[in-house]
Amino acid sequence: MRYKEFDVPLAKNPSIRMKVVPGHFTTNSFHITHYMDLNNLKTNASVARQVAKELAAPYLSDTPVDTIVCIEGTEVIGAYLAEELLQRGSRFRSSDRQIHVVVPVNNVYRKLMFQHDMQELIDNKNIILLVSSISSGTTLGSALECLRYYGGKVVGISTLFNAHPEQFGQEIHSMFTSHDIPGYKLYSPNNCPICDEGRKLDAIIIHDGYIKI
């Protein structure tokens, strides 16, 4: 790596900080100028609780929620998000309602699905979809397709990082976006100016990390 990593604090709560690693990265779809290390936000219990408080804000007033579906390792945040909604959400005060936190699995065709005993928590339920990051939208699209198949009603989508906050045709509640990272760019592998400069790839981005080349 040529450049030193840095932290980006959340404007509303500077104790929440996203680690950013500059470089020349590749995914299955894009070449990217920065890698967002979100692991501390997802695995550090005290930080994850703070993250959940921020993500809960859009849903506290009048959003009915039965289930939080977590993908890409966001289940710790999802549990705290459920706790926030149950404690502070107007839909849940003086009620005995519950919120379930579930994680889909990948089948042999690498498609998301829910095990039989989890399907009743999706069918005709009000669902918040919690995603670690959104770049190409492929993972998001796959998750939404899965929820439609099982009869879920998506009442909200939340993510820690959104590379294209204006691109998708539905509201997405994003904690950080590409606007928070100076110089962030995402290129097609066939039209990458970094490659054109003769600079080799630094690393391949994989699930929850990257592998240096």
Q: Closest by alpha carbon to 104, among 77, 73, 136?
A: 73
59 φ, ψ to 5°?
-110, 0
Is 205 part of any domain? yes
For 127-140, b/e burial (b = at least 16 CB within 10 A) is bbbbbbbbbebebb
Is 1 part of any domain? no
For 68-101, b/e burial (b = at least 16 CB within 10 A) is bbbbbebbbbbbbbbbbbbeebebbeeeeeebbb
132: left (phi over 0), alpha (psi -120 to 50) or beta: alpha
Per-residue pLDDT, 138: 82
114 φ, ψ to 5°?
-115, 135
Is 80 part of any domain? yes
The parent domain of residue 181 ranges over 6-212
Using DSSP, state whether 120 is helix, strand or coil: helix
Q: For residue 84, give the CATH number of its domain.
A: 3.40.50.2020
Which two tokens mark 146? 């899965």
- Report how far residue 57's alpha carbon sits from residue 63's, in angstroms, rounded to the nearest whole number: 10
- Report how far residue 107's alpha carbon sits from residue 57's, in angstroms, rounded to the nearest whole number: 34
- Report how far residue 207's alpha carbon sits from residue 147's, in angstroms, rounded to the nearest whole number: 21
Which two tokens mark 45? 């219990």
**Counting beta carbons within 10 angstroms of the beta carbon of residue 60, is it exposed (0 to 12), middle (13 to 18) or buried (19 or more)?**
middle
Q: Is this structure's pTM higher than 0.85? A: yes
Using DSSP, state whether 3 is helix, strand or coil: coil
Per-residue pLDDT, 206: 82
Using DSSP, state whether 124 is helix, strand or coil: coil
- Report how far residue 140's alpha carbon sits from residue 134's, in angstroms, rounded to the nearest whole number: 7
Across the chain, which has 213 residues, the per-10-residue mean pLDDT values are 83 94 90 94 96 95 92 96 88 74 86 92 96 87 94 96 78 93 92 93 85 87
Give the count of domains, the chain: 1
